[in-house]
Structure 1
Amino acid sequence: MKASIISLLTIALLAQACREPASDYGHLREGDLLFQDLDCGPMCDAIETVTEGVDGKDFSHCAMVVERNDSLFAIEAIGSGVQLTPIEKFYRRSGDTLEVKNITVGRVKAEYTYLIPQAMRFATQQVGQPYDDPFLLNNGRWYCSELLYESFKSANGGEDFFELFPMTFKDPGTNEFFPAWTDYYAELGDSIPEGEPGLNPGSISRSERIEIIE
């Protein structure tokens, strides 16, 4: 199951590679938060079903903007682990072009901008760390929204900046676990962490501490 998810992501990335990417990223600033619908199949569908993004949008992934050598990157936990992805590649992944804008951009409100430098330092220190396959906090591994959560928590003196919620892996229509999650955790050999604290791209996008700029 895990291998098939990675394959789906790879196919999706390759499918977008030949499209003309959006070329103007001048509106982005370091510390901006990027919310993305990966369209990776049943797993992403399950994530989007149990969490609503800002303005009712569907998000299955998120990242933060950082600058290195005068170039913008998205620092993200995806695939095998935490990595820096050129911003053009990140946008191309969603099929963004000069005319089509699929990425939603959030920015921490002005009173919190002082947290951004430390949040970025913390996040970049995690580059190369493994992906958090079981989606559990405090296990030395990272999933996308966990990386943002811990980065801003570090910057906020160890106090939560984004809110945690009990995680659910159940279909709200049936109150049964999504088959995709059942298969996924069976392959990991772990139990589904239903009710454990966590967060997701949708909940971060709705935070009262950020504003949506695009």
Structure 2
Amino acid sequence: MTSDLKNGDLLFVTAKETGLSGAINNVTQKQKNASFDHIGILEKQGKSFFVLHAAPKGGSQKQSLKEFLKDQANDGQKVVLYRIKPEFQNTIPKAIKKANAMIGKPYNFNYILDENSYYCSDFIERSFRDDRIFKLEPMTFIDPKTGKTNTFWEEFYQKKNLKVPEGELGCNPNGLAASEKIERVKEL
């Protein structure tokens, strides 16, 4: 199974219908057939594979691919493999070096960009930032069905005494998956 995996492959995790995952997806889903709520980057070291990612449990971390896949399966979520297109493959060594340098930082539970903590797509976007593989875009928390701020997010930020960061720059797994510089390979 790991024979066709490459250094720098991106692992997108499918979204759940409810809770934080559902709320992320409600305001960010771009394609009907793909809705993601988490992402990591694959690092190949000899014959071993690791996933570099930022998660609520454990913050910015390096996890064995086997453990990462087990965690997603236990949550009933699937993993879809995307690959940086050939003409941008040269950006991978630098991105992996950058991702490794961010390991150990805490998870960003506010989803408002800062330099001391990261959320999943922020971690990946920063890894490739120098080569502009992904773009930061104005964030939206508006429910497309109602045209109003999604209730989950309204309450989420209210509890933190923060205003909803509508329009502030950020990123999300669905936005990253839509990059023209990457392509979907297969479900793992």
User: Do both proteins adopt the same fold according to a TM-score greater than 0.5, normalized to the shorter chain?
Assistant: yes
From 81, 86, 94, the equivalent of 2:72 is 94
Per-residue Cα deviation, 1:139-167 (whole angstroms, up to 9, x for no partner): 3211111111111113x2xxx32122211
Match of 1:162 among 134, 144, 160: 134
Cα distance change, pair 87–54 in 1 and its aligned pair in 2 (3 A): farther
Q: State TM-score, norm by structure 1.
A: 0.78
Tell me the distance in 1 between the aligned counterparts of 2:48 and 2:27: 35
2:149 counterpart residue number: 177
Per the alignment, do residues 94 and 40 of structure 1 end up closer, same or farther by CA in structure 2, a change over 3 Å counting?
farther
Whether contact under 8 Å (1:182, 1:192) holds in the other structure is yes
TM-score calculated relative to the size of structure 2: 0.88
Supply the distance in 1 between the matched residues of 2:38 and 2:25 (Cα, whole angstroms): 10
Deviation at 1:55, TM superposition (A): 6.1
CA shift, 1:113, in A, is 0.8
Q: Quick one: which amino acid aligns to residue 111 of structure 2?
A: F
Q: Structure 1 stretch 105-114 or stretch 169-178: which is displaced more? A: 169-178
| 1:54 CA drift (Å) | 5.3
* % same residue: 30
Which one-letter code corresponds to 1:133 in the other structure? F
Which amino acid counterpart does residue 71 of structure 2 have in structure 1?
R
The structure with the greater share of residues assigned to strand is: 2
Give yes or no for contact 2:133–2:179 (8 Å, CA) kept in 1. Answer: no
In the other structure, the counterpart of 1:7 is none
Maintained 8 Å contact 2:14/2:80: no
Matches within 5 A, 1:25-64: 25-39=2-16, 41-52=18-29, 56-64=33-41
Encode CA deviations 1:71-115: one digit per residue, 9 max, x unaligned: 11111100141011211122223329xxx9931111111111111
CA contact (8 A) 1:53 1:59 kept: no
Q: 1 CA distance for matches of 2:117 and 2:32?
A: 30
Pairing of 1:112-191 with structure 2 (within 5 A): 112-154=88-130, 156=131, 160-191=132-163
Specify whether residues 148 and 29 from structure 1 end up closer, same or farther in structure 2 by C-alpha distance, changes over 3 A only: same
May I ask how many residue pairs the two structures share in their alignment?
184
- RMSD (Å), alpha carbons: 2.2
1:202 is aligned, of 149, 157, 174, to 174
Letter in 1 for 2:55: I
Unaligned runs of 5+ in 2: none
